[in-house]
Each structure stands twice: as C-alpha cells, then as structure tokens.
Amino acid sequence: MKYTQGKLGRVFVARLEDGESIYEAVEGIAREEGIASAAVLALGGMRSGKVVTGPESPTGKIIPHYEEFNDARELVGIGTLFQQEGRPALHFHAGMGRGDSALVGCPRAGMSVFLMLEVVIIELLEVNAKREFDAESGVNLLK
C-alpha cells in the first residue's frame, strides 16, 4: 500500500442539466478552477450510458465488460479526480437503478444526465498523486 496526506481545499457545487455529461462538466470545472485533485459526489438522474460492471475475465489483461441503459435511472455515485497526462481526469463509480433493476459500476464518458444531477467537488490540496497508464493491467492506475 502507498498513500499520501493532504488537506481539504475549496468546495464546488454544480447542478448539471438534462443531456450534460458528468465527465465533461467535472473535468471542465477542474480545468477552469485549477483543481488538480478532488473527491467527487453525485446524485440525481441519468438518461443513458455505458457502464463497466467488471472485467470479462478475472485473470489476465483487463478487458472491460459493458452494460448499457437508455431508460432514465436514479444515480448515486462517488469518484476521484487526479491529473492524467497533464489534465484532470475523473474516475467515477455509481449505482444506477430503475424499478427493481440496478447497475453498479464505472459509468464511462457519454453518460447523459436526466433532468438534473447534483455534483459536489471537494478539492484535495498537497496530495502527491496522479494517474498513469499501467501496461501490465492495461488501465490507468493511481500512482
């Protein structure tokens, strides 16, 4: 295990509108406000999206297994934002449900907000962390 210590900085609250992307919005706020590291909370609705719900196989190089939805679901999620290739990059996991159907996983870019999504960004200061591509696993990992 490796870890670093930091401090809490500014807090941003955003209301995303119907059709917006959480990735574009959060990463855009981070660029505009100079946020290098953050914790991200979100709740509201998602109209559609593609979600990684685990690897295709638990061994070998990671090949993501995807599930898609296009039926407007409730969402509660948490993520982190760290620098990756010199820019802020959101890593986000969420539970999304409608009726008795639920998906839990890592929503990918292209997620579309339904009605609105409340997002809280908690800036982390003096944190020595970033994401880098790991050739062995084939994914970006926190370093």
pLDDT digits (tens, 9 = 90+) for 40-69: 999 999 999 999 999 999 988 889 999 999
3-state helix, strand, coil in the chain (%, to 5): 10, 60, 30
pTM of the model: 0.94
pLDDT value of residue 60: 81
pLDDT digits (tens, 9 = 90+) for 82-121: 999 999 999 999 999 999 999 999 998 678 999 999 999 9
31 contact partners, CB below 8 Å, separation of at least 6: 87, 88
Cα 120 from Cα 38, distance rounded (Å):
10
pLDDT value of residue 108: 86
How far CA 67 is from CA of 2, 32, 108, 131, in Å, comes to 32, 32, 11, 25
pLDDT value of residue 53: 95
